[in-house]
Structure formats: C-alpha cells, structure tokens
C-alpha cells in the first residue's frame, strides 16, 4: 500500500477555503487540471455515496465516490472507482485545519492506494505534485498570497 501526504498553508480562513472546495462536483471551479464534472444519477453533491464523473484537461475520465463529508471537521474522503492512472484501492482525504495565528488554514491531502510494481514513485509524484500540490497552488492563487 502506497501512502501519500501533501500539506500546505493557505492565506485564507478555513471557512472561506472550505466554501470553495466542499462541493464534491465543484473541482472544475478550483482545480486547474479538471475540465468538467457531473454527479451521476442526479444525486446531491454533498450526499455520501454520490459518484462524480469528471474529465481531466488531457481527456482522462475519472469516477470517484464520496465516502465522508464533514462541515464541522472540514474533511472530505473519497475513493476512485475508475481512473486511467492504474491505481486500485485508492482512498483520499482532503482536510483543512484553522490556523489560529492569522487568517489562514492548514491544508492536508492524503491518499492510500495500490499500483503495479515499479510505478510507485511515478504515481506518487503524479498524484502528490500534479494533483494535490497543484490544487493547493490554485487555492493560494485564488485567495492571494501574503
């Protein structure tokens, strides 16, 4: 099992950042790699069990299922059902924690997954930097750096 963890500090309070990212169908509005997204079966985007079906800007199609969503804890946990990346048993959590020293929040994105032997490093870099860190950088640009 591969374990991946990326963190960052965003110069905005957790409520503001959470309002931007909590919509499970809202990736195209804040993540630069996502072209479009829809929730299958017309379910609400905050219903645990709903499935988002989206495309990356390079044409890849990914389906993910919402496993948990907490407005109180600022967390979202999901699993990949289908992806061209070649990962299995993929479960990820995006979490925000208020930083009491300033109007900021600590953002964490972690994942566990299996993959074909020999692809661990490649996929860890792709997901860690290309997905997680790229998302954090987009949020930092949106909220402005201090």
Above 90 in pLDDT, residue 102? no
Distance CA 92, CA 77 (A): 6
How do 2-10 and 61-70 pair as beta strands? unpaired
User: Helix axis angle, 14-21 relative to 134-143, nearest 10°?
Assistant: 120
Q: Which of 118, 133, 107, 144 is nearest to 32 (CA)?
A: 133
Backbone angles phi, psi at 39, to 5 degrees: -95, 130
User: What pLDDT is stored for residue 100 in this prediction?
Assistant: 87
> Which domain range does residue 72 map to?
2-143
What phi-psi label fits residue 144: left (phi over 0), alpha (psi between -120 and 50 degrees) or beta? left
Supply the pLDDT for residue 11: 93
C-alpha 100 chain-centroid distance: 24
* The predicted structure's pLDDT at residue 145: 58
Strand partners for 38: 53
CB 80 within 8 A of CB 90: yes
* CATH code of the domain containing 70: 3.30.530.20
pLDDT at 75 over 90: yes
Cα(21)–Cα(135) distance, integer angstroms: 10
pLDDT, tens digit (0-9, with 9 covering 90-100), for 35-45: 999 999 999 99
Confidence of residue 103 (pLDDT cuts 50, 70, 90): confident
Give the predicted TM-score (pTM) of the model: 0.93
Look at residue 146 in the predicted model and tell me its pLDDT.
47
When divided into structural domains, the chain yields a total of 1
- Local structure of 38: helix, strand or coil: strand
Mean pLDDT of 61-87: 96
Per residue in 131-140, pLDDT (tens digit) is: 999 999 999 9
- Mean pLDDT value across residues 69-93: 96
pLDDT at position 46 is 93
Share of the chain above pLDDT 70, in %: 99
Whole-number pLDDT of residue 144: 82
């Amino acid at each position: 099992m591969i374990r991946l963890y990326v963190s960052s500090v965003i110069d905005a309070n957790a409520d503001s950042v959470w309002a931007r990212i909590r919509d499970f169908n809202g990736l195209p509005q804040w993540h630069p790699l996502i072209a479009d997204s829809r929730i299958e079966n017309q379910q609400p985007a905050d219903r645990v069990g709903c499935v988002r079906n989206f495309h990356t800007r390079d044409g890849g199609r990914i389906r993910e299922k919402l496993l948990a969503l907490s407005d109180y804890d600022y967390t979202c946990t999901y699993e990949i059902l289908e992806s061209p990346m070649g990962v299995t048993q993929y479960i990820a959590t995006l979490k925000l924690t208020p930083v009491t020293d300033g109007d900021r929040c600590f953002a964490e994105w972690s994942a566990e997954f299996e993959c074909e032997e020999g692809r661990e490093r490649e996929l860890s870099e792709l997901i860690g930097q290309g997905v997680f860190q790229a998302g954090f950088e987009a949020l930092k640009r949106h909220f402005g750096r201090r």
